[in-house]
Chain A
Amino acid sequence: GESVGLHLPTLSVQEGDNSIINCAYSNSASDYFIWYKQESGKGPQFIIDIRSNMDKRQGQRVTVLLNKTVKHLSLQIAATQPGDSAVYFCAENGDSSYKLIFGSGTRLLVRP
């Protein structure tokens, strides 16, 4: 069936270092991918998205890379800050243009 998975359930990084969170997806029909950040006790918050006609998209301190050949998605956070500590979810749209399939999440811990 469709699935979105993550390689690392917990990632610990030093403040100021760059973080890379990885995600694998299984549905070749997915043409939209999105990363959310969820802080404790809050709802998911949009970080960045990318469509399948692109390989890379940059935002403020964040970059999403899409490798369609191996069905891999990554989120790069530059100069990681304590406020970046949260759970990060990737999601894909599968066969639907309006539904998202979420992965189980990766917890990012930033060491001071």
Chain B
Amino acid sequence: NAGVTQTPKFRVLKTGQSMTLLCAQDMNHEYMYWYRQDPGMGLRLIHYSVGEGTTAKGEVPDGYNVSRLKKQNFLLGLESAAPSQTSVYFCASSYDSRGSDEQFFGPGTRLTVL
């Protein structure tokens, strides 16, 4: 049981380049989330999904897109990276409201946009 995994762990992009961050969970969770964390700050929700094939905007969705084609995977895309998107990105997953609302987090992806 690997929990929540993220790929890649580190990435450096040039302004205008695109990339996709992959999140995978093996806990059969319904809900998945993408957050960004900037220095000295808490986690801000970018996008989330409440089930396969569904996505919704969070607090800071601009400049990002997501897809949830399979229940276990949640992809975060940057179509045209900007320096303001330099951050650490965390993926999380959770079960549903019948059980614990605890979100399980991945190890993070550190992204630098030059």
A43 at the interface (CB under 8 A from B): yes
In the assembled complex, how far is the CB of residue B106 from the closest CB belonging to chain A, in whole angstroms?
Answer: 6
Consensus secondary structure, chain B interface: loop
- Min distance, Cβ B105 to any Cβ of chain A, angstroms: 4
| A98–B94 CB distance below 8 A | yes
Contact with B along A1-43 (1 / 0, CB 8 A): 0001000000000000000000000000000101010000111
Instruction: Give Cα A105 to B94, complex, Å.
Output: 21
B60 touches A (CB below 8 Å): no
Q: What total of chain A residues lie within 8 Å of the partner, measured CB to CB? A: 21
Report Cα–Cα, A20/B36, bound state, in Å. Answer: 27
**With A102-B42, A104-B41 as contacts: A93 and B101 at CB distance below 8 Å:** yes
Which of A41, A43, A104 gathers most chain B CB within 10 Å? A43
Known: A43-B90, A49-B100, A93-B101. Contact between A99 and B45, CB under 8 A?
yes
Q: For residues 63 through 105 of chain B, which have their beta carbon under 8 Å from a beta carbon of chain A?
A: 90, 94, 96-97, 100-105
Confirm or deny: B16 has a beta carbon within 8 angstroms of a beta carbon on chain A. no
Q: Does B107 contact A (CB under 8 A)?
A: yes
Identify the B interface with A (CB < 8 A).
Answer: 4, 31, 33, 40-45, 48, 50, 58, 90, 94, 96-97, 100-108
Contact A34 B102 (CB under 8 A): yes
- For residue B2, give the distance in angstroms from its CB to the closest CB of chain A: 13
Q: Which residues of B contact A93 (CB under 8 A)?
A: 101
| Contact (Cβ within 8 A) B101 A43 | no
| Residues of chain A within 8 A of B105, CB atoms compared | 36, 43-45
How far in angstroms is the closest Cβ of chain A from B89?
Answer: 10
User: Are A42 and B97 in contact (CB-based, < 8 A)?
Assistant: no
Q: Nearest Cβ distance between residue A29 and chain B, in whole angstroms?
A: 14
- Distance, CA A97 to CA B50, complexed state (A): 11
Are the C-beta atoms of B42 and A99 separated by less than 8 Å? no
